[in-house]
């Protein structure tokens, strides 16, 4: 991104932090060095998420990531989610859209499913929503659906999931119990219950989330949407927690946001 100059610069600086979200370098929203941690093409990361398996014993969900969640990538995502750097949304949405185009050919075929591919963002937690006042993943789902639609795969962003307040303490629950508890808390939003996209024959669904850790959230979203008669075929995340043995390096730099 070019350095801002001229009479508007001071005014813009009042609203936009003029420093890199990951390293605080002045003058850019994200510097080229810090943007270089994002991979030029998405990679499958579900093999490292132990809790993606369906509770009913089905196979793991294919999950594609745009980076490992470490270093500058991790600092960028944290600055966006928790540091108020909302000007990153546009860049991260574009990145998610680009990532979706990279996995398009690997999405399972249409089969018996009809209509548009549904692009469903994981729901924000009640606390996250209160803290940030908005749903950060929604613009990412919109960009993903727009990118896929523009390349001939009709897709519809559908922010149809919500998180209910915890009604049962996680303490004392095993992993499976905690997964079931989380699945209990994620539900289809009331106003989407009669939505045409969720009625009739199943649609294919692509889930969107920011960070893949254990996979429990995505597994819970999948369970809820399966119960609503849909068919979750894959998930796309910005970044995935790397396995303990992972060594980074050898990635090509990606252009900084402009």
Residue 20 engages Zn ion in binding (rule: CB under 5 A): yes
**Which range in 23-31, 109-117, 123-131, 157-165 contacts Zn ion by CB under 5 A?**
23-31
CB of 25 or CB of 226, closer to Zn ion:
25
Residues within window 144-163 making contact with Zn ion, judged by CB under 5 A: none
Query: To the nearest whole angstrom, how small is the minimum distance from the Cβ of residue 20 to Zn ion?
Result: 3
Residue 34 engages Zn ion in binding (rule: CB under 5 A): yes
In Å, what is the CA distance from 45 to each residue of 18, 35, 119, 243? 33, 20, 19, 9
CB of 159 or CB of 257, closer to Zn ion:
257
Query: To the nearest whole angstrom, how small is the minimum distance from the Cβ of residue 64 to Zn ion?
Result: 25
Out of 3, 5, 10, 23, the residue judged to bind Zn ion by CB under 5 A:
23
For the residues of 160-227, what is the DSSP string, one character each?
-EEEPPP-S--TT--HHHHHHHHHHHEEE-GGGTT-GGGSSSPPEEEEEEEEESSSHHHHHHHHHHHH
Residue in 73, 85, 76, 23 with CA at minimum distance from that of residue 45: 73
Q: Where are the alpha helices (DSSP H) in the chain?
A: 7-15, 32-35, 71-81, 88-103, 126-132, 137-150, 175-185, 216-227
Residue 79 engages Zn ion in binding (rule: CB under 5 A): no
CB of 20 or CB of 187, closer to Zn ion:
20
**Which range in 34-42, 62-70, 133-141, 172-180 contacts Zn ion by CB under 5 A?**
34-42
Q: Binding residues for Zn ion, per CB under 5 A?
A: 20, 22-23, 25, 31, 34
């Amino acid at each position: 991104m070019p350095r801002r100059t001229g009479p508007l610069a001071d005014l813009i600086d009042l609203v936009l932090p003029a420093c890199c979200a990951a390293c605080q370098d002045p003058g850019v929203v994200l510097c080229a060095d810090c943007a270089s941690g994002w991979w030029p093409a998405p990679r499958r990361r579900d093999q490292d998420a132990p809790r993606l398996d369906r509770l009913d014993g089905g196979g793991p969900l294919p999950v594609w990531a745009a980076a490992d969640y470490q270093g500058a990538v991790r600092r960028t995502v944290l600055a966006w989610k928790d540091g108020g750097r909302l000007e990153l949304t546009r860049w991260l949405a574009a990145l998610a859209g680009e990532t979706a185009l990279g996995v398009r050919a690997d999405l399972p075929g249409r089969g018996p499913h009809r209509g548009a591919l549904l692009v469903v963002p994981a729901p924000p937690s009640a606390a996250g929503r209160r803290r940030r006042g908005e749903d950060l993943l929604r613009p990412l789902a919109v960009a993903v659906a727009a990118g896929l639609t523009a390349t001939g795969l009709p897709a519809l962003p559908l922010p149809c999931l919500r998180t209910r307040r915890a009604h049962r303490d996680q303490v004392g629950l095993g992993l499976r119990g905690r997964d079931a508890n989380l699945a209990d808390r994620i539900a289809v939003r009331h106003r989407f219950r009669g939505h045409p996209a969720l009625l009739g024959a199943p649609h294919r669904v692509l889930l969107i989330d920011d960070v893949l850790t254990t996979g429990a959230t995505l597994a819970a979203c999948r369970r809820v949407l399966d119960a609503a008669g849909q068919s979750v075929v894959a998930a796309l995340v910005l970044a995935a927690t790397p396995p303990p043995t992972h060594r980074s390096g050898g990635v090509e730099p990606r252009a900084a946001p402009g």
